[in-house]
Amino acid sequence: MRYNIVIIGGGPAGLGAAVEAKKNGIENVLIIERDRELGGILNQCIHNGFGLHEFKEELTGPEYAGKFIEMVKKENIDYMLNTMVLNINENKSIEAIGEDGLINIEADAIVLAMGCRERTRGAIDIPGYRPAGVYTAGAAQRLSNMEGYMVGKEVVIYGSGDIGLIMARRMTLEGAKVKAVVEINPHSSGLTRNIVQCLDDFNIPLKLSTSISYIHGKERVSGVTLSKLDENRNPIPDQDEFIECDTVLLSVGLIPENELSVGAGVNLDMRTSGPIVNNTMSTNLDGVFACGNVVHVHDLVDFVTKESRIAGRNAAKYCLSKLEKNDTVSTEAGEGIGYIVPQNIDTSNDEDVNLFMRVRNIYKNKKLVVKSNNEIILEKKRKHMIPSEMESINISKDLLKNITGNISVSVEEA
């Protein structure tokens, strides 16, 4: 089998990249999806709040995915379901296994859109036995929303990531009692709107600077011990609290799914755990692009779609021999910035470039300062910045042409 562009992953990133590649003149496009249907994580996100940027209306996850699935079918884009990619060779040859056995596919260009996965209990080493009733928040979401199972009646959620916050509301609406959402940091790791809509509106307590230090129970979870933490994340003596519960949901972070990328030889950024890309979403491998949560974890699916369009468009240009390879400048995370994507920028690019980043701490009344050769080229005042909400800065194509050195972004006094 041979295709011009093969997209690995049929979630929002893969769907967006496929549609954009087809619209830019590529006839032979294939999506490979390991699940039984297209849509990815959106299929289990039955709450609303999606599509405000992309479609100017509020949609549920399945509705958002459905719009792109319709586009894929309208454009007659090929897709394989229940198919797992095993390996990507350096010559862009793909080995996959599906319902009909082993498949070999040759591609002119590849778009990596595998998304991300959740951290599990094993990644954070909570002491205790291994009882039933411990789930990742995403697994509980799928069981509840797609399979029709109630995972528990008395719930404690560890971590205030967005999926955990949304599941606090979902469990409450299903009749469970959510005893607490526990967060190790002094601030929530979820969006502010989710804290308000999912916790405050249902009087669910959020315990900051607190950890689960022990999970009780042998056959089934019977409770958890919470420990209050000081500023160095050390337990404060004599401030432990026991909460009786039968279920613990873990919302303790997401990891970009990059085993395939590493096997293919794609260079990763240790700060994002995703591929190092430039503003065309190209990786270090010729003809291999990446987009969405496989590059870095996004807040909103609308931003994933925006990024996937860039990847799909430039993969099409690559196949049509219209993508020029020019020298790039690097982006550098300065004071107060955790990471920046893209990590490299082609300054001769004929499109504006959006820099996406996360700050390291909570900041009020500060500004983001963009510099090149120690000269300020752009400033953006921000009243409030937190690590859980991604920041972005737009650099116009006209401004890019005047940049000759590496670009740094830092948090400074307003």
**Which tens digits make up the pLDDT trace of 355-377?**
999 999 989 999 999 999 889 99
Q: What is the pLDDT of residues 390-403, one digit of tens each?
A: 999 999 988 888 88
Q: What is the pLDDT of residues 38-65, one digit of tens each?
A: 999 999 999 988 999 999 999 999 999 9
- Locate 102 and state its tokens: 């082993």
Taking every pair of Cα atoms in the chain, the longest distance, rounded to a whole number of angstroms, is: 67
Q: What is the pLDDT of residues 373-385, one digit of tens each?
A: 889 999 999 999 9
* DSSP code for 152: -
Q: What is the mean pLDDT of the chain?
A: 94
Query: What contacts 170, CB < 8 A, 6 or more positions away?
Result: 47, 141, 144, 145
Closest CA to 399 of 376, 367, 368, 374: 376
Q: Which fold has domain 1-118+254-325?
A: FAD/NAD(P)-binding domain (3.50.50)
Q: Where in the chain is the domain with CATH 3.50.50.60?
A: 1-118+254-325, 120-252
Q: 384-402 burial, b if ≥16 CB within 10 A, otherwise e?
A: ebbbbbbbebebeeebbee
Decide: pTM greater than 0.85: yes
Q: What are phi and psi of 4, to 5 degrees?
A: -65, -50
What's the CATH number for 120-252?
Answer: 3.50.50.60
Q: Where in the chain is the domain with CATH 2.60.40?
A: 326-414
Closest CA to 158 of 257, 225, 59: 225
Q: What is the pLDDT of residue 196?
A: 94
Q: What is the pLDDT of residue 135?
A: 96
Q: From CA 113, how far away is CA 14, in angstroms rounded?
A: 5
Q: Which fold has domain 326-414?
A: Immunoglobulin-like (2.60.40)
Closest CA to 317 of 352, 279, 268, 276: 279
Residues 106-114, mean pLDDT to the nearest whole number: 97
* Exposed / middle / buried, residue 255 (Cβ in 10 Å: 0-12, 13-18, 19+): middle
Helix (H, G, I), strand (E, B) or coil at 122: helix
